[in-house]
Chain A
Amino acid sequence: MVELRFGIEFVPMNPYWKTLLFAMESEKSGFDNVWITDHYNNRNVYVSLTLVGTHTERIKLGPGVTNPYMIHPVMTAQSVASLNEVAPGRVICGIGVGDKTTLETVGIEQRVPLAAIRDSVQIIRDMTSGKGTQLEGKAFRVSGARFFFKVGNPIPVYIGAQGPKMLSLAGEIGDGVLINASHKRDIENALRFVREGATRGGRTMDKVDVAVYTSFSMAEDPAKAVKAATPVVAYIVAGAPHPLLESHDISAQAAESIKNGIAQGKWKEAFGQVTPEMIEAFSICGTPGTCLERIEELGRIGMTQFVAGSPLGPKIRESIRTFGERIIPRLKHY
C-alpha cells in the first residue's frame, strides 16, 4: 500500500494576498504542506509564510527552498524557529544550494555546495534544538551561537537536490529530500543516490520523506495545461545539464537556442521552441486523469510526498480545487 502526502509550491511573485488566498485554498483542498520559494527578487519568504501561518490551522509550511549563501544558516534557524511560534509544530525547512544565476546577480558564488548544505543542516538543527552551535565546518564556522528563546519542537530539515552527491547527502542527513524532477526515470535514478546516502548514514528510508518537487500544470483542456507549462519548462531546459537533456533525447543545441532566446528577452521565440518531449520530460502536465496516473506511478517507485510546483495550471485556484477533489482522495492511500 502506498501512502502519499501532498505539498504545493508558491512563488511569491504576486502581492501577498494572492499567495495567501491560494495557500488557504490549498489547506481547504487537503494539501499537507505549503512550500514557498526564497528568491530576493520576489516577496520575502518569511513574511509570506508568517501570513500563511496566521491564516491557516493545519497545513505545514516552510521555505522551499532557502539557501545558505544568501542567508546565513543561523538566520534561517532563527526564521523557522520564530515561524514555529506562529504555527507551532507546523514548520518545515527546505534548504538547497539556490539558483546559480540569481546568486550571480548579487556577486555570490556557490562555494563548496555539499559542505555548505551539510554544515547548514547541522547549524539549523543545533540552533533550533536549543543547545546552540559550535561548528568548525568546511563552509561555516560558528562558535557558541545560541538563541535567547526556546523552540518547542524539532523542525524537519529537507534538502533540495538534483545531482548525485547532493541526493546522497540528503539521504544521509536530511529529514527529507526535495527531488527536483518530474519524470519517473529521473526520479528512479535520484532515488538510487538517496538510498545509497541513507545506507551510508546508517538510516532506513522510512526516516527520509521523499518529496518530488515537480513542475506541474493541470487543466481539463490539455492544450491549456501545456501552454501554462511551456515558459517554466523553457527555463528548466535552458538550465539543465547536458547529460540530463541527452537522457531525454533533447539536444544540447536545442537547449542552447532556448537559453539564448531567454537571455535576449525573445520570449515568444524561446518558448516556441519547447517541444512535447521537453514538456513530458520536465513537467507533469495534462488533464486531471493524466496527472493522476503520473503521480500514482511516482508513489509506486518510492515517492512519499508529491509537490505540485509552478505553474500549477492556467488557472491556479481551479487547479488547487481540482487537485483536492480528484487527486488527493484517490492517492492518499492506494
Chain B
Amino acid sequence: MRYVEAMGKVDRSKREKLSDILLDLILDSGNADKLTPELARSLIDAARGNMLSSENGLEILLEAGALLEPDKSPATLETQGFPELASELKKTIGK
C-alpha cells in the first residue's frame, strides 16, 4: 500500500483534480462489475460527504481504480501529472 504514502505527498491544491481524474476513470470503466460491494459503499459514503478529495476518499478512489482499470489507472495518473503516484500504484498492482 505504498501508493497511499505517495498519495499523501500530493499537493493539497491538486487533490481535487486527482479525485476528478480517478472518479471519471471509474465511472467510464467497462469493468464496473468488478467493484466489491464494500468498496462501492465506501465510495458512495465518501461522495455523499463530499470527501472524495480527502486522503481517505482518494485512497478509496485509487483502490477502486486499481481494481477496475489496473492498466489504465497508472497510465492516466502518469499522463495527468502524478508520476510518483502512478509508479507506486503500478508496483502495488504488480504491473
Give chain A's interface residues, CB within 8 Å of chain B. Answer: 14-18, 20-22, 24, 55, 315-318
Q: Is the CB of B24 within 8 A of A318?
A: yes
Chain A residues with CB under 8 Å of B47's CB are: 21, 24
Give chain B's interface residues, CB within 8 Å of chain A. Answer: 23-24, 27-28, 32-33, 35, 40, 43-44, 47-48
Which of B24, B28, B40 is the one whose CB lies under 8 Å from A17? B40
Quick one: given A17-B43, A20-B44, A21-B47, are A317 and B23 in contact (CB under 8 Å)? yes
Question: Within the assembled complex, what's the spacing in Å between the Cα atoms of A55 and B32?
Answer: 20
Quick one: given A21-B47, A24-B47, are A15 and B27 in contact (CB under 8 Å)? no
Quick one: given A22-B27, A317-B23, A317-B27, are A14 and B44 in contact (CB under 8 Å)? no
Which of A15, A55, A315 is the one whose CB lies under 8 Å from B28? A315
Question: Within the assembled complex, what's the spacing in Å between the Cα atoms of A17 and B29?
Answer: 13
Least CB separation from A15: chain B residue? B32
Least CB separation from B27: chain A residue? A317
Q: Is the CB of B48 within 8 A of A24?
A: yes
Least CB separation from A25: chain B residue? B47
Question: Within the assembled complex, what's the spacing in Å between the Cα atoms of A316 and B23?
Answer: 12
A55 to B: closest C-beta gap in Å: 6
B27 to A: closest C-beta gap in Å: 5
Of A20, A21, A315, most buried by chain B (CB within 10 Å of CB) is A21
Q: Is the CB of B44 within 8 A of A15?
A: no
B31 to A: closest C-beta gap in Å: 10
21 A–B contacts from the bound complex (CB under 8 Å): A15-B32, A15-B33, A15-B35, A16-B40, A17-B32, A17-B40, A17-B43, A20-B44, A21-B23, A21-B27, A21-B44, A21-B47, A22-B27, A24-B47, A55-B44, A315-B24, A316-B27, A316-B28, A317-B24, A317-B27, A318-B24
Chain B residues with CB under 8 Å of A16's CB are: 40
Chain A residues with CB under 8 Å of B23's CB are: 21, 317
Least CB separation from A16: chain B residue? B40
Chain B residues with CB under 8 Å of A315's CB are: 24, 28
Question: Within the assembled complex, what's the spacing in Å between the Cα atoms of A15 and B36?
Answer: 11
Chain B residues with CB under 8 Å of A317's CB are: 23-24, 27-28
A21-B23, A317-B24, A318-B24 given; 5 more Cβ-contact pairs under 8 Å: A16-B40, A17-B43, A21-B43, A21-B44, A21-B47
Q: Is the CB of B43 within 8 A of A14?
A: no
A113 to B: closest C-beta gap in Å: 35
Question: Within the assembled complex, what's the spacing in Å between the Cα atoms of A14 and B26?
Answer: 12
Q: Is the CB of A15 within 8 A of B24?
A: no
Question: Within the assembled complex, what's the spacing in Å between the Cα atoms of A211 and B32?
Answer: 31
Q: Is the CB of A17 within 8 A of B48?
A: no
B78 to A: closest C-beta gap in Å: 20
Question: Within the assembled complex, what's the spacing in Å between the Cα atoms of A309 and B11?
Answer: 38
B52 to A: closest C-beta gap in Å: 10
Q: Is the CB of A18 within 8 A of B32?
A: yes
A44 to B: closest C-beta gap in Å: 16
A50 to B: closest C-beta gap in Å: 13
Question: Within the assembled complex, what's the spacing in Å between the Cα atoms of A14 and B68?
Answer: 14
Question: Within the assembled complex, what's the spacing in Å between the Cα atoms of A24 and B24?
Answer: 14
Chain A residues with CB under 8 Å of B44's CB are: 17, 20-21, 55
Question: Within the assembled complex, what's the spacing in Å between the Cα atoms of A317 and B35?
Answer: 18
Question: Within the assembled complex, what's the spacing in Å between the Cα atoms of A315 and B28?
Answer: 7
